Structure formats: structure tokens, C-alpha cells
């Protein structure tokens, strides 16, 4: 550095004084020289080495391959031996229960505890097995929401020897029971919004039980569950048994930045019912869906929107052996189940409905009008045409309110065609020991002569009349008690007692079989008009 001082020279001036155009042809010269040299070398090698002179078959036969026939086996054996040694090293690790517990719980953002043992297993793939794994509630660490008999954590072969960090992408849950409290639905929903660091999850022989606080409602049993995720899509598949019906659930969440979408399909295999739920075009907080069900003579199709824990049925059709029509309205799921539905039926086949009532078991007949206290709401039901052997009731309109297990009949209007109409109001009170209908009934006859002629009673005057009846009907034992009967004036207690006795003896003698029998009704009308 003493003899050459690079800082003394200005290379920019030197570069300016050099004309590169003079040397432009040099690169072309060297390219031609390289091509000539390569061709010459190839010709010389080709002349010196004549492949046809060599007999490769003799060379192949001269080699004693028997000496080397075991080499592939040795190579494979060494590789297998090294792999076995590699995957067996974690057998000598001491897995600290608290560290494993904390890492898994942090990965899934949950509170959990390992009550059983921790062991390492090589087959079928390297994995850590946890026994008696307990999952704590989101908002109450003293409350258990899930217990898993065995948890298998599949380890990554790439990071198998990392002692301080368990690297895994898949976890298997075997014989798990999970409790789902409907009152904590919002908390569960907020938990999933935090996007916990889920892995691929497989579940075998699981059970999901639904609770209302501490009261068990129902459950899905024999659950087989798979949850897989990647950069483009999250997919969930669940199979199980719900209310003695095989159920299949498929959820897909596409993570497209420009057009993300979610799709949920629920199938009830035994009833051939399918529910599809997808993103709605109405708004961000609204999802849309459709329902289709087809089994034997039962048909159901519906289009709906869902938002704010409410299902909005925009258009729905229903058909079975009893009825045919359509419905619309709102069903509220949370915090309490409620509904407001309008059902407009084209037809009701009363003959088949009557046969169904007669075929019920005695226990089901007694509990026919018992409603779960959790089912509350309003139902507007109408039927344009009612078919029966003896056409007495042509159509109906009703407004019913379901409240805490009781049914309030705000209006039940029955059209008797050319005969007149009848209007019924009342309430069905249900308790553990009784189920009673308390009613008030107004009967309007446009032509009493035509009415009596229908029941074989002739020589009556053609007049219009109205009749008021009130009383109680024991729906468990099917016995009638009349409080009042009046036309222009109130009937006497003796007449009321007589009508009550005749009604019970004739129309309620054999329960529903005799109550809706036209011949019995004809005999009753004849006995009270003698």
C-alpha cells in the first residue's frame, strides 16, 4: 500500500479516455474461436474412441455381481436402522406434564389439565399420548366442559428432537365427551372470533351433550369428527347420531381475500333432510339458506335468512298425508326459543288425521296436547278446505299462543258451510297431573232447518239461531263438564247436566274414535232434541 496509492488515480478520467468501440469485435472473435475449438476436440475424441469397438456385454458378464447382490439390502437396512434410532430418541425424553399442558393450552387458547400419564409412541407414526385430558370452561376454570380419554399429538419428523418445543400439526381425540351450555352460546361465539391457533383435529367415539344451565336437553352420540385447515380453506366434517337419526355436517370456510365465503351443510340421513347455509347478499351479519326434506309422502322445502339469532322463513312449502300448504314467519333461537308463524294450508285430510289419533297409544293420547315449556310463540293457522267422510267443517282460521307449556286459543273459527259457523276461544292448561281445555263456544246457525235435516231431524222451522256454550274438557281422560248453555236465555242446571251426560255417554264413550264419528254426533243431536 506504500507503493501504490489508489486514491491518487481518477478512474473516471481513465474510463472516459478509453474507446470501447475499438474492442467491440474482440468478443465476436473469441466466440468464433470457441466454436472452432469445440468442433475440433469433438472430432478428435470421436476418432480416438469408437464405441462400436467395445463389447459391453462381455464387460457386464465379467463383473461378479454375486459379490454385490446384498449391497441394496445393506443400504436399505442401514437407512431403516438410522430412522428407527432417530424416531426412538424421544423415548428417553422426560416430558414435563406442566410444560406439555401449558403449551397445548396456549396453542388452542383454552384452559386445560392433564390428569393422567404422558407417554411417547412410535407406531404408527411418532406421537405423544395424553390420558385423561380435561378441558375447562371459558369463563369458569372450576367448570369442566370436556373430558377426553386419550389425546394423540402427532409430532413433526423435522423437529422431532426439539425437547423444549413440541411441534405438531395434527391432534387426535379418542372417546371425548363435551358439554355445550346454550346459555353460554355468545361466549363460545366470541371465543371462536379470537381465532385460536387451531391444528388439524380428528375425533373418534365422541359425544356432544347440550345443556340449559344444568338441565340436559339432548345429545349427539357416536361422533366422528375431522377438522382440516390450510392457507386456502378450513374444512370440518362431523358424523354422529342425533335423536336416533344419523347426522352429517360439513362446514367449509374459503379464505379468498377478494371473495371469502362460508358454506354449511347439515344432513339428517334417516329422514333425507338437508339444510344448506351460505353467505347472504342481504348484509354482512345475515346468512341465507334453504331446507329440503323428502321421505315417503312427507315433503318440506324452505328458503330462509338468519341473523341476530333469528330465522326468517321467507317462503316454505309443506306436504304430508294429513295436509298441504305453505308457511312463513320468524323463529327466534336465543336467548329463548320463540316463534311467530303464519301457516296457510290448502287442504286438511281429516279422515287420515282421525285414523292417526285412534292409532295412538293410550299414553300418547293423554299427552297429545302437552307442550314443552321452552316452546313459546304465536301461530296463525288457516285451512281453506277440510276433507272428511261427512263434510261438516269446510274450513278454519285460528290464532294460537304457546306460553310456558300452555296453549291460549285466541280464536278458532270453523266454517260449517251453508249451515253456519262456530267460534271457539279458550286455553289449554297443562300440569304434571292434568291437561284441561277451558273453552267458550258460540255456534251460529244460518238455517236451523237445514242443520236438523243433515242429522235426520225433520219438520223443524227455518230460523237462524245462536247458541253459547262454556265448559271444561279433560284432555287426559276425555270427559266434558259444562258450565253454561244459553240461547235467548240460560238453560237450567238440569238441562245442562242432561246434555253433559249424553255428550259423555255417546261422543266420548270410546275417546277420539267416538268423538269424531258422525253417526255418534247424529245420535247425540237426536237425543237432545227429542
The domain boundary residue, chosen from 76, 92, 108: 92
pLDDT on residue 232? 79
Residue 216 is assigned to a structural domain of this protein: no
Top pLDDT among 208 and 31 is at 208
To the nearest 10 degrees (0 to 180), the angle between helices 518-528 and 493-502 is: 160
pLDDT tens across 10-30, in order?
Answer: 545 544 555 545 545 555 555
Residue 142 is assigned to a structural domain of this protein: no
Q: How far apart are CA 115 and CA 189, in angstroms?
A: 28
pLDDT band at 8 (very low <50, low <70, confident <90, very high): low
Only one residue has cell 314443552, namely: 372
Domain count of the fold of the chain: 2
**C-beta separation of 309 from 301 below 8 A:** no
Residue 360 is assigned to a structural domain of this protein: yes
Q: What is the number of other CB atoms lying within 10 angstroms of the CB of residue 281?
A: 7
pLDDT tens across 386-421, in order?
Answer: 998 777 899 999 999 999 999 999 999 999 888 889
Mean pLDDT of 93-101: 75
Owning domain of residue 82? 62-92
pLDDT on residue 1? 45
User: For residue 184, which of 339, 334, 286, 331 has the smallest C-alpha distance?
Assistant: 334
Lowest-confidence region among 150-164, 319-333, 445-459: 150-164
Supply the DSSP symbol for 530.
-
Residue 70 is assigned to a structural domain of this protein: yes
Q: How far apart are CA 223 and CA 400, in angstroms?
A: 39
Q: Residue 5 is placed in which grid cell?
A: 496509492
pLDDT on residue 398? 96
Residue 350 is assigned to a structural domain of this protein: yes
Supply the DSSP symbol for 441.
E
Residue 342 is assigned to a structural domain of this protein: yes
Angle at 441 between CA 524 and CA 447, to 5 degrees: 65
471: β partners: 439, 482
Q: How far apart are CA 336 and CA 496, in angstroms?
A: 44
For residue 362, how many C-alpha atoms fall within 13 Å in the half-sphere facing its CB? 2
Residue 26 is assigned to a structural domain of this protein: no
Q: How far apart are CA 72 and CA 15, in angstroms?
A: 63
Return the H-helix or E-strand segment holding 88. helix 71-88
Residue 398 is assigned to a structural domain of this protein: yes
Gap between the terminal Cα atoms of the chain: 143
Mean pLDDT of 85-113: 74
Return the H-helix or E-strand segment holding 74. helix 71-88
For residue 237, how many C-alpha atoms fall within 13 Å in the half-sphere facing its CB? 7
Buried b (16+ CB within 10 A) or exposed e, 38-68: eeeeeeeeeeeeeeeeeeeeeeeeeeeeeee
How many residues are there in the chain? 530
pLDDT at 440 over 50: yes
pLDDT on residue 111? 79
Q: What is the number of other CB atoms lying within 10 angstroms of the CB of residue 128?
A: 21
pLDDT on residue 87? 73
Pairing of strands 406-415, 376-387: unpaired
Percent of the chain with pLDDT over 70: 79
**C-beta separation of 91 from 121 below 8 A:** no
Lowest-confidence region among 36-45, 209-218, 314-323, 484-493: 36-45
Q: How far apart are CA 266 and CA 272, in angstroms?
A: 11
User: For residue 381, which of 400, 368, 395, 394 has the smallest C-alpha distance?
Assistant: 400
Amino acid at each position: 500500500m506504500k507503493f501504490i496509492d489508489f486514491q491518487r488515480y481518477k478512474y473516471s478520467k481513465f474510463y472516459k479516455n478509453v474507446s470501447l468501440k475499438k474492442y467491440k469485435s474482440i468478443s465476436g472473435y473469441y466466440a468464433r474461436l470457441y466454436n472452432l475449438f469445440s468442433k475440433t476436440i469433438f472430432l478428435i475424441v470421436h476418432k480416438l474412441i469408437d464405441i462400436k469397438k467395445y463389447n459391453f456385454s462381455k464387460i457386464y458378464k465379467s463383473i461378479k455381481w454375486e459379490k454385490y447382490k446384498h449391497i441394496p439390502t445393506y443400504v436399505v437396512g442401514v437407512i431403516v436402522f438410522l430412522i428407527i434410532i432417530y424416531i426412538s430418541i424421544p423415548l428417553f425424553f422426560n416430558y414435563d406434564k406442566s410444560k406439555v399442558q401449558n403449551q397445548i393450552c396456549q396453542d388452542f387458547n383454552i384452559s386445560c389439565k392433564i390428569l393422567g400419564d404422558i407417554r411417547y409412541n412410535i407406531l404408527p407414526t411418532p406421537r405423544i399420548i395424553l390420558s385423561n385430558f380435561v378441558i375447562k370452561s371459558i369463563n369458569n376454570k372450576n367448570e369442566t366442559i370436556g373430558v377426553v380419554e386419550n389425546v394423540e399429538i402427532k409430532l413433526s419428523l423435522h423437529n422431532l428432537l426439539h425437547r423444549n418445543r413440541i411441534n405438531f400439526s395434527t391432534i387426535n381425540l379418542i372417546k371425548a365427551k363435551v358439554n355445550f351450555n346454550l346459555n353460554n352460546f355468545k361466549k363460545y361465539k366470541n371465543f371462536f372470533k379470537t381465532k385460536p391457533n387451531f391444528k388439524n383435529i380428528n375425533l373418534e367415539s365422541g359425544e356432544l351433550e347440550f345443556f340449559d344451565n344444568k338441565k340436559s336437553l339432548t345429545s349427539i352420540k357416536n361422533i366422528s369428527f375431522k377438522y382440516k385447515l390450510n392457507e386456502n380453506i378450513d374444512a370440518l366434517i362431523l358424523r354422529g347420531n342425533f335423536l336416533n337419526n344419523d347426522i352429517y355436517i360439513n362446514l367449509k370456510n374459503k379464505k379468498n381475500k377478494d371473495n371469502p365465503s362460508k358454506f354449511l351443510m347439515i344432513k339428517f340421513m334417516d329422514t333425507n333432510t338437508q339444510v344448506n347455509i351460505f353467505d347472504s347478499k342481504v348484509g354482512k351479519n345475515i346468512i341465507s339458506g334453504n331446507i329440503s326434506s323428502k321421505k315417503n309422502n312427507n315433503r318440506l322445502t324452505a328458503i330462509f335468512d338468519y341473523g341476530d339469532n333469528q330465522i326468517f322463513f321467507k317462503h316454505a312449502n309443506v306436504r304430508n298425508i294429513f295436509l298441504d300448504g305453505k308457511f312463513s314467519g320468524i323463529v327466534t333461537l336465543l336467548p329463548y326459543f320463540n316463534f311467530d308463524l303464519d301457516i296457510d294450508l290448502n287442504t286438511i285430510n281429516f279422515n287420515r288425521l282421525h285414523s292417526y289419533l285412534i292409532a295412538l297409544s293410550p299414553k300418547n293420547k293423554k299427552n297429545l296436547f302437552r307442550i314443552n315449556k321452552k316452546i313459546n310463540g304465536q301461530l296463525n293457522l288457516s285451512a281453506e278446505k277440510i276433507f272428511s267422510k261427512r263434510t261438516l267443517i269446510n274450513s278454519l282460521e285460528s290464532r294460537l299462543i304457546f306460553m310456558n307449556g300452555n296453549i291460549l286459543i285466541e280464536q278458532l273459527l270453523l266454517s260449517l258451510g251453508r249451515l253456519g259457523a262456530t267460534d271457539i276461544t279458550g286455553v289449554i292448561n297443562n300440569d304434571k297431573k292434568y291437561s284441561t281445555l277451558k273453552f267458550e263456544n258460540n255456534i251460529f246457525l244460518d238455517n236451523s232447518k237445514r242443520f236438523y235435516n243433515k242429522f235426520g231431524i225433520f219438520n223443524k222451522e227455518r230460523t237462524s239461531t245462536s247458541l253459547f256454550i262454556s265448559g271444561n274438557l279433560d284432555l287426559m281422560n276425555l270427559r266434558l263438564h259444562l258450565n253454561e248453555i244459553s240461547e235467548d236465555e240460560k238453560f237450567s242446571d238440569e238441562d245442562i247436566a242432561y246434555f253433559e251426560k249424553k255428550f259423555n255417554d255417546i261422543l266420548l264413550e270410546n275417546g277420539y274414535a267416538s268423538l269424531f264419528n258422525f253417526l255418534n254426533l247424529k245420535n247425540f243431536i237426536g237425543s237432545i232434541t227429542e
